[in-house]
Amino acid sequence: MPSFKLVWRNLLRRPLRALLTVASLAIAIFLICALRTMITTIAAGVENANPRRLDVMSSSGLFNELPLSYQAKIERVPGVEKTTKFQWFGGYFRSQKHFFAQFAIDPETMFDMYPECKVPPEQIEALRRTRAGCIIGRSLAKKFDWKIGDTIPLIGALHPRPDFKAWEFQVVGIYHSDVPSFDNRTLFFGWDYFEETLKAGGVPPGVGVYAIRATPDANIERVIADVEDQFKDSEQRIDCATEAEFQRQFQTMFGNIPLFLGWIGGGVLIAILVACINTMLMSMREQTADVGVLKSLGFTDGSVFGLFMAQAMFLCLVGGAIGLLVAWSTQRPIAALIEMMFPGYSITPQTFALAAVVSLVLGVLAGILPAVRARRLRCVEALRATD
Amino acid sequence: MRCILLVPITYNLRSLLVRKSATLLTVLGIGATVAIVSGVLALRQGFSTMFTSGGRDDLAVFLRPGATNEGDSQFSRDRGLKLIKTVPEIEVGPHGPLAAMEAYLAVLLAPKRGGLTNVPLRGVQPMTFEIRQGEIAIIEGRNFTPGTDELIVGSRLVDRIENCHLGDLITLNRTPFRVVGVFEHPGQFGGEIWGDLDRFLSTMGRYGPNRVIAKLKPGTELGSPDPAKVLFSDDPPEPTPGSLAARLLEDTEVPAKVYTEKQFLASQTVMLSYMLVGLSLALAVIMGLAAVFTATNTMLSAIAARTHEIGILLALGYRPLPIFLSFLFEALLLGVIGGLVGCLMALPFNGLKAGTMNFQTFTEMAFAFRVTSSVLLTAVVFSLILGLLGGAWPAFRAARMRPTVAMRRE
């Protein structure tokens, strides 16, 4: 094995080059972490899905509402323990720039069915009592500096108020969730207020999604088949699926975006690999005469090979480590920047591991060609080299 | 006038050739960077072409006040009809006012890549085709017969989504519709499924259409503010007082907001467009930085290897400035060759069809990568900048050498 001192001295021979190589490697590893995290963020919903929860929506897609009468029918199916309903409100605060999701929900059942949405019980109670009350996510509250008691005016783009004025919701609670699939930037408000207001304008309210909690001993396949069977001759056909399946369908709507992110990551890898090989070849060429000296001093071919491998590995590992550090420490600002498209951006341990392996492999690939060349050099030829 | 003796260009060309492997690897590195950036730019170009081509200035789009897209908007049939009859700015053709109601819905279909996606569904009236004469071209089969359960599909869907070929059946809610034609449209319609307005409304259980479109009389000024500004500003601009837009917003019977089609389409992708511009900028800066580092490395080592030669050049009487320019030129050349290689790598993506969800409308958008001349030009300029930044410092170092010191190095 070559001594660490020799490796270090060789790298310091051109400190600027070593620095630039480490910096470009760090950039590449950071980009790979960031791109892969965008992909895993999209997939996070599936991994965190609750196996006992099912979702029911119109088989024509989320654009279509289901009648209110379906809830009672779903509850009659054996194996269904509890149900709750969601309707996408589709409003915006001041301008679309400040997009966040809002749902009309049933406070009696929703919080019970989604224990990952943590709210103090007295705040749920307050939502039951307050006609135009709402409970908002922690990050949403932080972003707009909303506190309990504040009023949030929302323009109902999808569900306008009969007078076309803004809806007004009073904050009665703030929830938080620790799972990435349930974001912290949604507004939930009571169903009754929603239904009464729409009815006053002559519009019948509908339901976007019914969620089902199956009994612990229920056969999920069976429940899905039975629920779907209930509505096979109804005015709106439905699709029933496990939460994981529902999330998976939702993900596929991202279309080719994850693939493109993967391509970009691949391109980054190629560019950086080429750059690393280049640097190592350059430094090997400059050290040709040194190789001659080392070999005439009695260094074996193997230890010369090791010396060059160690230089490449050292650069790549340091660069990789810096890249990982940068990726890890920039999670918050990046998450804030892209929360609309990829809510819950957070780097998984697997991504970190992958990036570490990538820097290791880069080191091997970048070092192997110069190291083999150095190993093959004959002492006399090497000594004769001029630069 | 003092004459500055320039270092012959062939010197640089031959130097690049002598160091073949370093030149090749640098070119490849810059090329990959340029290819990625131009790929993202081509994606953005595909989006914007799709949404701005076909957007007409003489066509008005009427939406419900407060709505931000077609899916949000809804009129009852009566209100839609009343709007068409009462707005005097609408052009009248041989078969009545040149205006039509449209339903904008979505159907969950299976893309060939797997999963499900919301494909946009547009219910149209016979008048729609009269308004859009020359815009919609049936390229296979025939148009649907009004009042029947027939469909025509946009050409960008045919090879990407299941059941979109001639003769296939697509079930909307509970009614099967037959695909009888394929139509072509360079804009967003090319990624949609079209059929009869009333059949769509009744099978999907909708009470009214989503929007009204109308051809305007020549010279009509709508007076509506730029919708992109309305959507993204905390203090949205108001329509011009007294204009059609202002009048309709205050209308007591059928309040509506109105845009030209061009304005409307531009507003529908602002978010995705901003996002892609942001992504390409971020990638260009971050990856560009890495590429500049690589180029600097290459040039520094090129200069280190040629210290002796630089000493000779200086001893021959070449001034530092020509030597600086000579090495800068070499770096620019590396950059530009890298840029051209990057363009070559990006070109195969031209025309590649892809789809993703537009978050503003929640529907699948089918689009194609478009590697246009402006994308290529941007890529080449980008590679020149990379070469310039990567070459400046090494060239400066070369120019500052002292001939005696440089020549002593063997």
Dump pLDDT digits (tens) for B287-330.
888 888 888 888 888 888 888 888 888 888 888 888 899 999 99
- Under an 8 A CB cutoff, do A23 and B283 touch? no
Higher-confidence position of B219 and B129: B129
* Residues B381-390: b if buried by 16+ CB within 10 A, e if exposed: ebbbbbbbbb
> Which positions 302-361 of B are in contact with A (Cβ < 8 Å)?
304-305, 354-357, 359-360
- Under an 8 A CB cutoff, do A278 and B65 touch? no
Measured distance CA(B26)–CA(A272) in Å, rounded: 10
> Which positions 253-272 of B are in contact with A (Cβ < 8 Å)?
255, 271
Higher-confidence position of B220 and B270: B220
Whether B273 has its CB under 8 Å from any CB of chain A: the answer is: no
- CB nearest A255 (choices: B71, B354, B360): B354
Residue B159's Cβ-count burial label (10 Å; 0-12, 13-18, 19+) is exposed
CA-based nearest residue to A366, from A268, A284, A262: A284
Q: Give pLDDT, residue B206.
A: 80
Measured distance CA(B48)–CA(A352) in Å, rounded: 36
pLDDT surpasses 90 at B240 = no
Identify the three-state secondary structure at position A170: strand
Q: How far are the Cα atoms of A278, A283, A355, A356 from residue A25, in angstroms, in the given order? A: 13, 17, 11, 12
Q: Pairing state of beta strands B99-109 and B137-141?
A: unpaired
Whether A155 has its CB under 8 Å from any CB of chain B: the answer is: yes
- Round the average pLDDT of chain A to a whole number and report it: 88
Chain A residues with CB-CB distance to B204 below 8 A: 60, 64
Nearest CA distance, A356 vs chain B (angstrom) = 19
- Under an 8 A CB cutoff, do B72 and A253 touch? no
SS3 content of chain A, % helix, strand, coil (to 5): 55, 15, 30
| DSSP state string for B28-41 | HHHHHHHHHHHHHH
Residue B303's Cβ-count burial label (10 Å; 0-12, 13-18, 19+) is buried
- Under an 8 A CB cutoff, do B115 and A248 touch? yes
Q: Which two tokens stand for residue B16?
A: 């690049």
- Under an 8 A CB cutoff, do B22 and A281 touch? yes
Higher-confidence position of B5 and A149: A149
Reported residue count of chain A is: 387
Amino acid at A221: E
Listed in sequence order, the residues at least 6 apart from B154 whose beta carbon sits closer than 8 Å to its beta carbon are B182, B183, B184, B185, B189, B190, B191, B192, B193, B194, B366
Chain B residue with CA closest to A34: the answer is B283
Nearest CA distance, B95 vs chain A (angstrom) = 33
Q: Give pLDDT, residue B47.
A: 77
Whether B297 has its CB under 8 Å from any CB of chain A: the answer is: yes
CA-based nearest residue to A309, from A375, A364, A377, A373: A364
- Under an 8 A CB cutoff, do B113 and A249 touch? no
Whether A299 has its CB under 8 Å from any CB of chain B: the answer is: no
pLDDT-derived band at B2 (thresholds 50, 70, 90) equals low
Q: Give pLDDT, residue B282.
A: 86
Chain A residues with CB-CB distance to B286 below 8 A: 27, 30-31
Dump pLDDT digits (tens) for B164-183.
999 999 988 888 999 999 99
- Under an 8 A CB cutoff, do B305 and A237 touch? no
Across the range A112-117, mean pLDDT stands at 93
pLDDT-derived band at B1 (thresholds 50, 70, 90) equals very low
Is residue B363 within 8 A of residue B71, CB to CB? The reply is: yes
* DSSP 8-state symbol, A185: -
Which helix (H) or strand (E) segment is A240 a member of? strand A238-242
> Which positions 165-224 of A are in contact with B (Cβ < 8 Å)?
none
pLDDT surpasses 60 at A387 = no
Nearest CA distance, B195 vs chain A (angstrom) = 16
Whole-number CA gyration radius for chain A:
30
Which helix (H) or strand (E) segment is A215 a member of? none
Is residue B335 within 8 A of residue B386, CB to CB? The reply is: yes
* C-beta atoms surrounding A298 within 10 Å: 7
Q: Which two tokens stand for residue A372?
A: 């083999």
- Under an 8 A CB cutoff, do B362 and A257 touch? no
Whether A330 has its CB under 8 Å from any CB of chain B: the answer is: no
Q: Give pLDDT, residue B199.
A: 94
Dump pLDDT digits (tens) for B4-63.
678 888 888 888 888 888 888 889 888 988 998 898 888 888 877 777 666 888 899 999
Dump pLDDT digits (tens) for B107-125.
888 888 777 788 889 999 9
Chain B residues with CB-CB distance to A271 below 8 A: 28-29, 32-33, 36, 287, 290-291
Please, where are the H alpha helices in A13-132? 15-47, 70-75, 110-113, 121-129
Which helix (H) or strand (E) segment is B302 a member of? helix B270-305
* C-beta atoms surrounding A324 within 10 Å: 21
Across the range A28-52, mean pLDDT stands at 85
Chain A residues with CB-CB distance to B355 below 8 A: 255-256
- Under an 8 A CB cutoff, do A255 and B355 touch? yes
Across the range A9-19, mean pLDDT stands at 85
Q: Pairing state of beta strands B150-154 and B175-184?
A: parallel
Of the residues B356, B363, B365, B369, the best mutation for testing chain A's interface (the one with the most A CB atoms within 10 Å of its CB) is: B356
* C-beta atoms surrounding B184 within 10 Å: 15
Interface confidence, given as ipTM, is: 0.76
Chain B residues with CB-CB distance to A257 below 8 A: 356
Chain A residues with CB-CB distance to B233 below 8 A: 95, 97
- Under an 8 A CB cutoff, do B293 and A23 touch? yes
Chain A residue with CA closest to B23: the answer is A278
Chain B residues with CB-CB distance to A253 below 8 A: 115-118, 356-357, 364
Across the range B130-156, mean pLDDT stands at 93
